[in-house]
Amino acid sequence: MDEVVGDAPVPGGPSSSAGAGALGRLRKVCTNATEALSATGVGVSVMSGDGDHRMAAASDPATERIEELQLTLGEGPCIDAFAASRPVLVPDLDDSVMRRWPVYGPAVHGEGIRAVFAFPLQVGAVRLGVLDVFRTHAGQLSREQMGRAITFADLAVTALLDGQDQPHADRDLDEAVEHRARLYQAQGMVMVQLGVSLAEAMVRLRAYAYAEDRTLSDVAADVVARRLRFDPSQS
């Protein structure tokens, strides 16, 4: 029987993509960066200007969840670093951070994270995504660690671009296109089901994913497959 949901709360979840090709190299970058930066974990998200954001790789399963959290919530250092094309450094998740990101701040703090450093991945004016460094203790990155973090961001860019020439690149690209198409289709279906705007439909999808502790991609797949339907009569 189809699952029917009504009005949901606010915008989450992880997705594992540790395959071969560019994604495999990205995960290696994340793993090496975690050790070199004395971090709890490092994640990379691939993003585009039209709002398609997805967690690409992470150093470990726990970081996968934390990395995708801000993509599902639609706020956080990763989102801001991509939009501004400059690093967003948060050495302490204090009250000012909670005010800046009222949903993301408490959520990531609840995961035990106390510092986040986001570095945009770009070549000239072309933006590819963001590399995020997470720590369970507050404190600035040292000057040496900042240099290393920027180097790892460059390595992530290289892994993404080199993936175009690798045997698994077509598969990786196909997965990305399929993900985007499914998300847009689900967004349109929820818009019709609830009689709301496209923007509001995305908010509802994010909210449901966060409330159910699921990935946005998985929720979109259920909507498209008609296993999940949003019902305006339920709240």
Measuring CA to CA, how many Å separate 30 from each of 80, 116, 179, 216? Answer: 20, 14, 22, 22
Q: Which domains are delineated in the chain?
A: 4-8+167-230 (1.10.10), 21-165 (3.30.450.40)
pLDDT above 90: residue 220: no
Query: What's the token pair of residue 56?
Result: 């690409």
Quick: pLDDT tens for 81-117.
Answer: 999 999 999 999 999 999 999 999 999 999 999 999 9
Quick: pLDDT tens for 150-203.
Answer: 999 988 988 877 654 444 444 544 455 466 567 778 888 898 899 988 778 877
Dihedral (Cα; 102, 108, 112, 113), 10-degree rounding: -100
Q: What is the CA radius of gyration of the chain?
A: 18
Q: What is the pLDDT of residue 179?
A: 63
Strand partners, 57: 44
- Cβ neighbors of 186 (< 8 A, separation 6 or more) are 205, 219, 220, 221, 223, 224
| Measured distance CA(189)–CA(126) in Å, rounded | 31
